[in-house]
A and B are shown apart, each in its own frame.
Chain A
Amino acid sequence: DTGVSQDPRHKITKRGQNVTFRCDPISEHNRLYWYRQTLGQGPEFLTYFQNEAQLEKSRLLSDRFSAERPKGSFSTLEIQRTEQGDSAMYLCASSPKVTSGRAFIYNEQFFGPGTRLTVL
């Protein structure tokens, strides 16, 4: 079990440039989440997918942000025209679908190591 992986681990870019991050969830995990974490704060929810469908986007996700999960496996998060305020750790998490009685539920989210973005 390789866990959730993210690439790159660190990214330094200049203001105005575009950046793209990749997340590979744990195999067969249906749900994939993106969070952003700044220093001294807890992670903040950005968006999540169930398979390839993007089901929810936070108001934090401005028009400059876009996320995809084209085949329901890996996901990418792109930030266009980066700003210094985008500097943060971007965390990806995945969650399996488990059966509880007659229902399917999603509980624990497994986090990847994150991509630390620095915008100069």
Chain B
Amino acid sequence: GQNIDQPTEMTATEGAIVQINCTYQTSGFNGLFWYQQHAGEAPTFLSYNVLDGLEEKGRFSSFLSRSKGYSYLLLKELQMKDSASYLCAVRASSYNTDKLIFGTGTRLQVFP
């Protein structure tokens, strides 16, 4: 079956660092994505990992361990505008399928 787990909610303080974890069990793996989604808006792409290790992009970093079925998104120097839901998604693709399987999302609230 397909299963992606991430915490439902997290809170943090402006200027702090927060790590959002994601574990997955999927049939087929062709990369892991993190998307940010503000309430009522479309998901926007943050990061993509297909090989093990850390990908850094400004204030955001994402890590992947394929053997452990584990990823995390690290947000540094938090700002109020980072309050949003963060979606972990596994790309399950092969010769006859191509889709993103999403977790339920982690709602992050940043307080002043």
Instruction: With CB as the reference atom, state the residue of chain B lying closest to A95.
Output: B98
Q: Is the CB of A108 within 8 A of B103?
A: no
> Measured between C-beta atoms, what is the minimum distance from A74 to chain B in Å?
17
Is B33 at the interface (CB under 8 A from chain A)?
yes
Judge whether B48 and A108 touch: CB under 8 Å.
yes
By the criterion CB–CB under 8 Å, are B99 and A33 in contact? Answer: yes
Taking residues whose C-beta sits less than 8 angstroms from the other chain, chain A's interface range is 20 to 34
B27 contacts the other chain (CB 8 A): no
Residues of A within 8 A of B (CB): 4, 31, 33, 35, 40-45, 48, 55-56, 58, 91, 106-114
Residue of B nearest to A43 (CB): B102
Find B100's partner among A4, A45, A55, A114 (CB 8 Å cutoff).
A45
Beta-carbon contact of A110 and B45 below 8 Å: yes
- Nearest first, the 7 closest Cβ-Cβ pairs linking A and B are A42-B102, A45-B99, A111-B42, A111-B43, A113-B42, A43-B102, A42-B105
Q: How far is the CA of A91 from the CA of B100 in the complex (A)?
A: 12
Instruction: Kindly state the interface size class of chain B when it binds its partner.
Output: 20 to 34
Residues of A within 8 A of B101 (CB): 45
Where chain B touches its partner, the secondary structure class is strand
B89 and A42 contacting across the interface, CB-CB below 8 Å: yes
Complex-state Cα separation, A91 to B42, whole angstroms: 8
29 A–B contacts from the bound complex (CB under 8 Å) = A4-B42, A33-B99, A35-B100, A40-B104, A40-B105, A41-B104, A41-B105, A42-B87, A42-B104, A42-B105, A43-B43, A43-B87, A45-B99, A45-B100, A45-B101, A48-B99, A55-B98, A56-B96, A56-B98, A91-B42, A91-B43, A107-B31, A108-B48, A109-B45, A109-B100, A110-B45, A112-B42, A113-B41, A114-B42
A108–B33 contact, CB under 8 A?
yes
B26 CB–A CB distance under 8 Å: no
A108 to B96, CA, bound (A): 18
A56 to B91, CA, bound (A): 14
